[in-house]
Structure 1
Amino acid sequence: MELRQLEYFVAVAEEANFTRAAERVRISQSGVSAQIRELERELGATLIDRSTRTATLTDAGRVALEHARAALACAGAVRQAVGEVTGLIRGRLTVGMVTGCTITLFFDALAAFHRAHPGVEITLLEGNSVRLLDDVRSGAVDLALVGTADPTPAGLNTLTIISERLVALVPPEHPLAKQATVSIADIADHRLVCMPEGTGIRTVLDRACALRRVQPAIAVQASAADAIADLAARGLGVAILSESMSSHYKSRLRALRIIDVGDPALLALVWTATKSPALDRLVRHCHDTFTTRPVQVG
């Protein structure tokens, strides 16, 4: 029995999917499958039910999962203990980032961490903020930069990077362009171009609409601010973005403050309490970077 086999087994169990597990551990799907079958042969029991599209644990698999996680944690503790004695931090960190992120300071923090601790392997992945929050809680992702409407997501440590109000963006010829501010009711009379569900900006918008019992007409959804602005400039609808995002498009679009959306959209780093020296150092690098330099979006 090898540690990598246990690692692949845990990945499949947590992802409930061989393809996603293979992406997570960064080998081919066939490689993951082969190693888990070898583990099953050695244990004399089937651990994963492969009869449906979702990979689910058998009774034997559920029993094995707890011990597999414990074995991996022990192996990690050995590496950490030796690293503390030798002064060298090693290991692997999985870092999540909301799709479409253009916060260059985040990349600066990762680069500074890599220079200081080259023995730590970093895997960077993009995803929906809701999924990333779940992945951090489950331990599949160590730290993530997410958009959220909640200042303190349940069960997570948080470092807020940006907190901004929402604005509506329209081209100069749009009927709303003559107004300095708009309400939820005003923009609900028009088709909207906005972020998809699961993003912080969309969550703030949806909550504000629900509070006022307004059902917005979503024309187009896009993850990138540039795409949303371009679509609005071409007349596909009223764009909904944050204040700093809107500043990049002032030559083409007019930004109107939405007066009855009180909650800000947040961009935040999230992680769980940890005994990992590598994650502790990465959090420290991120904190130092974001608290000493101005954050720019785009």
Structure 2
Amino acid sequence: MELRQLAYFVAVAEERNFTRAAEKAHVAQPGVSAQIRKLERELGQELLDRSGREVRLTEAGETVLPYARAALAAVEGARLAVDELTGLVRGHVAVGTVTSHNVDLPGLLAGFHDDHPAVEITLTEANSDQLMDELRAGLLDAAIISIGGTAPAGLDIRVVDDQPIVVAVAHDHELAIHQAVSVDTLRERPLISLPRGTGLRTRLDEACAAAGFTPRIAFEASDPGALAQLAARGLGAAILPGAFAEARADELRSIAIDRPALRGRLAFAWRTDGPSSPAGRALVARARATLGGPGSGHTRRAGR
């Protein structure tokens, strides 16, 4: 009995089709059929019912399938264990990030690449909702996301930035005379905000909903710099991270939001059960050791 025979059998069982299974295994279809026939002869039972348009498992096939999967998983586990035992980390790491932040993600990835040059690193950009979905689905190993007061379900986090969310307006705007405004002050005012799905927009929508209204979004853009420019031209009140707005004090007046105070947190996040690959786990370990943040950036789990 050979591992490739078990792998081909599992592929056919999952695809219910020899051609698709062969494509998945990157071999010719006759080779898949021949190897499964050898496996059936060795076991003395047919594992697949080939009589219909769709391949189905026989009773013997149903019995063998979980053992075949377990054998393949055990071999992969042994390979990963050897890799980790010898310190050889290779493979691929998929990282995601929100559009704009002050986290030294390039520094983290460059340091990781120096230590593990054989690992392929990919970086994608999306809003926080999409990144969290891809983390949970295993499409990403880690991501920089914007979060609320608690860790998202199914994810562990290391907070790397925590700052107030403010209203930023042109210096001649009617709100510019205020040091702070309540969320209710924003009712019916034209606001300039990041799109839905971003952490900052989620905090705004939640606060407005609690106050009994839906924010009036006059302008929406994924680039905080564009939001700042629109506000500086007097087109509305931009909702921005405090440090980002204060860095543009020559063009914008930053006004605190209270009753309730809004805060935006950035976090390095990964699945609660951890990345499946040694490379992914090595990146998370490096991030936890090197990325600083408020309160020493302690790791927090969902539900805590």
Normalised-by-shorter TM-score class: 0.7 to 0.9
- Show CA shifts across 1:147-187 (max 9, x none): 12242111111111112221000001111111111112222
Match of 2:137 in 1: 138
Q: CA deviation at 1:81?
A: 2.6
User: What letter corresponds to residue 290 of structure 1 in structure 2?
Assistant: L
Task: Tell me how far apart the structure 1 counterparts of residues 185 and 93 of structure 2 sit (CA, whole Å).
Answer: 45
Where does structure 2 lack aligned partners over 5 or more consecutive residues? 15-19, 34-53, 57-61, 297-304
Task: Tell me how far apart the structure 1 counterparts of residues 196 and 164 of structure 2 sit (CA, whole Å).
Answer: 18
Q: CA deviation at 1:262?
A: 3.1
- 3-state SS of 1:291 partner: coil
Give the % identical residues. Answer: 36
Task: Tell me how far apart the structure 2 counterparts of residues 161 and 292 of structure 1 sit (CA, whole Å).
Answer: 4
Q: CA deviation at 1:120?
A: 1.5
Match of 2:289 in 1: 288
Match of 2:215 in 1: 216
Task: Tell me how far apart the structure 1 counterparts of residues 231 and 87 of structure 2 sit (CA, whole Å).
Answer: 53
Match of 1:278 in 2: 279
Q: How does 1:111-122 map to 2 (within 5 A)?
A: 111-122=110-121
Q: CA deviation at 1:263?
A: 4.5
Task: Tell me how far apart the structure 2 counterparts of residues 69 and 192 of structure 1 sit (CA, whole Å).
Answer: 54
Residues 165 and 261, structure 1, Cα contact 8 Å, conserved in 2: no
Q: CA deviation at 1:216?
A: 1.6
Task: Tell me how far apart the structure 1 counterparts of residues 55 and 226 of structure 2 sit (CA, whole Å).
Answer: 47
Task: Tell me how far apart the structure 2 counterparts of residues 285 and 239 of structure 1 sit (CA, whole Å).
Answer: 36
- Show CA shifts across 1:17-64 (max 9, x none): xxxxxxxxxxxxxxx9x94597896779xxxxxxxxxxxxx998xx9x
Q: How does 1:1-298 map to 2 (within 5 A)?
A: 35=23, 76-98=76-98, 100-272=99-271, 273-274=273-274, 276-291=277-292
Higher Rg: 2
- Show CA shifts across 1:253-294 (max 9, x none): 000001123352211111112354322321222223322899
User: What letter corresponds to residue 110 of structure 1 in structure 2?
Assistant: L
Residues 187 and 213, structure 2, Cα contact 8 Å, conserved in 1: yes
Task: Tell me how far apart the structure 2 counterparts of residues 267 and 36 of structure 1 sit (CA, whole Å).
Answer: 39
Report the TM-score, using the length of structure 2 for normalisation: 0.71
Residues 91 and 121, structure 1, Cα contact 8 Å, conserved in 2: yes
Where does structure 1 lack aligned partners over 5 or more consecutive residues? 11-31, 45-57
Residues 146 and 264, structure 2, Cα contact 8 Å, conserved in 1: yes
Residues 88 and 119, structure 1, Cα contact 8 Å, conserved in 2: no
User: What letter corresponds to residue 90 of structure 1 in structure 2?
Assistant: R
Q: Please provide the CA RMSD for this pair.
A: 3.6
Task: Tell me how far apart the structure 2 counterparts of residues 227 and 217 of structure 1 sit (CA, whole Å).
Answer: 18
- 3-state SS of 1:215 partner: coil
User: What letter corresponds to residue 280 of structure 2 in structure 1?
Assistant: L
Report the TM-score, using the length of structure 1 for normalisation: 0.72
Residues 161 and 267, structure 1, Cα contact 8 Å, conserved in 2: yes
Distance 1:282 1:234, change over 3 A: same
What is the aligned residue count?
Answer: 251
Match of 1:20 in 2: none
